Amino acid sequence: MATWQITVTGMTFLLVLVLIMTEWVHLTVAALLGAMVLVFVHVLSLGEAVGYIGQSYSTLALFFGVMVLVRAFEPTKIFEYWATQMVLFARGQGKRLLLGVVGLTTVVTAFLPNATTVMLLAPLFPTLAEEIGVDCVPLLILLVITANSGSLLTLVGDPVTFIIGDAIGMGFLEYFWRLSLAGVVAVGTILVMLPWLFPKTWRKQLTNLEQLPHPQVNHPLMLTAGSVIVLFVLVFFVVGEYLPVPMTPAGVALMGATLALLLAHNSKIDTVHNILRDVDWSTLIFFMSFFVLIGGLEKAGIIQQLSQVMAQVLGNNMALNALLILLLTGVLSSLVPNIPLAVAMLALLNAYLVQEGWVSAAILEPGAQRELPAAVQPLFFAMMIGGTLGGNGTLIGASANIVAAGVAEQHGRRISFGGFLLYGLPVMIAQLGTAAIFLLVRFFLLPS
């Protein structure tokens, strides 16, 4: 690849970030424009661009399936009903409501991927916010940062933890024993910061709960049948990949969406055209465009060059190395989607360990068994935690953030880059700080 093409690739990516941060254009338009520039100057052919999108087919299929599933149940008014019940359960107290949001989100995201959790719960919040008289945007941001943080509780909560855990041969139970406490610490950090982050909602007190609207659930038979579909989807999200004939979360989501469309069509509560029209295509196109941008960075070798910064600063002190990796991955994953970043840095860390003689060169072979010395394992744990928590920093740091922005836009609200930064950046800084303490205590001061 010519030097000028590498330069154009880097400049294009930076320009897209600037356009998103300054909000000069819509984030989907900015990402799509950047992707088309790379195709136009032949950094990528159109086939290669489509290929990079295809490599992430499971993410797109999962998002599309859950979007259709959620939209199919809107005519039943189940989301409005649940929102009212949450307000009543909190007895009209804002602080109880915020604690309830964190608690509910944490429980759900312990079993489901963070982006899926946001897609399932986000439709509750516009109605909930309207009933208590607050802006829904801060509540959606709270949902997102809690989902991202709580995803550290299990190996399958975030793609980053799964990718790195799989690469080092870590199983579900081993992760739970060694790293789930990091999720507890991350969520605990949010709980401590709630009164400061959301002072208006924290002090909110409703005294006229009897005057709240009490929406009635429509089409109870359809809702009952739909509940069976949702239960099928949730169960197979968790166990599908462990069956004799594996079922991926993307396949499960698409099957659930298909059954929901069939149910909506046969029950006449809505048309297939209306449901598909209301899918958040803007969010899906943003992801596809960003996958192309990341593909361009990978082909140009820019991600690998950026990752080599880590190799220049690492030394022989493993505790210090773990903290540096935590900070580096946390900061970078707030600016670059964490999935490709994790893959790139994983390859670099393996190469670094081979170079320093910690492991044999066989670890670099595809499909090789990852038997890592205990001394170097905290480096990978730090990468897991930093890559996950760094997504809380900016609007584009994690896929769940973009999903929430799409939900807000569908309800006439907008999560701006600066608005998200106002909440996300302090949380990210605080969480990286508490995560650093966790790493030092758990793996260096009191190892077990």
- pLDDT tens figures, 68-123: 988 888 888 776 777 677 777 777 778 888 888 898 889 888 877 788 788 778 88
Residue 435's contacts (CB-CB under 8 Å, 6 or more residues apart) are 182, 185, 186, 326, 385, 386, 389
Residue 219, both tokens: 């089409």
**For residues 123 and 265, which has the higher predicted lDDT (pLDDT)?**
265
Dihedral sign computed on CA atoms, order 193, 194, 195, 198: positive
Kindly report the pTM of this predicted structure. 0.78
**Does residue 366 register a pLDDT over 60?**
no
Identify the band that residue 143 occupies on the pLDDT scale cut at 50, 70 and 90.
Answer: very high
CB 197 within 8 A of CB 429: no
Q: What is the pLDDT of residue 268?
A: 86
**Does residue 364 register a pLDDT over 60?**
no
Rounded Cα gap, residues 422 and 176, in angstroms = 32
DSSP assignment of 125-185 equals: HHHHHHHHTS-HHHHHHHHHHHHHHHGGGSTTSSHHHHHHHHHTT--HHHHHHHHHHHHHH
Rounded Cα gap, residues 17 and 405, in angstroms = 16
Q: What is the pLDDT of residue 226?
A: 85
Look over the chain and give the mean of its residue pLDDT values, rounded to a whole number: 84
CB 388 within 8 A of CB 424: no
**Does residue 448 register a pLDDT over 70?**
no
Q: What is the pLDDT of residue 234?
A: 79
CB 60 within 8 A of CB 284: yes
Q: What is the pLDDT of residue 208?
A: 63
CB 83 within 8 A of CB 217: no
- pLDDT tens figures, 281-339: 988 898 889 889 888 888 888 866 766 666 677 777 889 999 999 998 999 888 876 77
Residue 2's contacts (CB-CB under 8 Å, 6 or more residues apart) are none
Q: What is the pLDDT of residue 215?
A: 64
> Over the range 325-355, which residues count as b (16 or more CB within 10 Å of their CB) and which as e?
bbbbbbebbbbbbbbbbbbbbbebbbbbbee
Residue with tokens 């189940």: 78
Q: What is the pLDDT of residue 370?
A: 61
User: CB atoms < 10 A from the CB of 181, how many?
Assistant: 15
**Does residue 51 register a pLDDT over 80?**
yes
Q: What is the pLDDT of residue 2?
A: 84
- In sequence order, which ranges of 90-121 are alpha helices (DSSP H)? 94-109, 114-121
**Does residue 434 register a pLDDT over 60?**
yes
Q: What is the pLDDT of residue 29?
A: 93
- pLDDT tens figures, 172-219: 778 888 999 999 999 999 999 999 999 988 887 766 656 656 667 778
Q: What are phi and psi of 207, to 5 degrees?
A: -105, -10
